[in-house]
Amino acid sequence: MTTRSDVFVAINSERNYQQAKWGDLDTRNRIGDFLIYMERELRKATDGYYSPDEPKDVMTAVRKVTSVGVAMMEKFGAPLR
């Protein structure tokens, strides 16, 4: 079983990767841009569900969706529940 702490480490590693690859997305993307990126990765997760490597493909895409959501909240705020 993966702990919440492990999950946050994975998300943070993806954010670090994104920043290294794309630079500071915060300066040029709007809310809609982030939603489109998330939707694209979510589609990959859905498609991965039907692939022979299902768990790996799905969870890789979910990590990316979540990390883009984190980037979005970094720019536009993260309201508390």
- What sign has the CA pseudo-torsion 49, 35, 10, 3? negative
Mean pLDDT of all residues in 9-15: 97
Tell me: the pLDDT tens digits for 18-74?
Answer: 999 988 756 788 999 999 999 999 999 998 888 776 777 899 999 999 999 999 999
pLDDT for res 69: 96
**pLDDT over threshold 90, residue 4:** yes
Strands (DSSP E) along 17-74, which ranges?
none
- In 29-58, which positions are buried (b, 16+ CB within 10 angstroms) versus exposed (e)? beeeebeebbeebeebbeebeeeeeeeebb
pLDDT for res 62: 95
pLDDT for res 60: 92
**Residue ranges covered by each domain of the chain:** 4-76
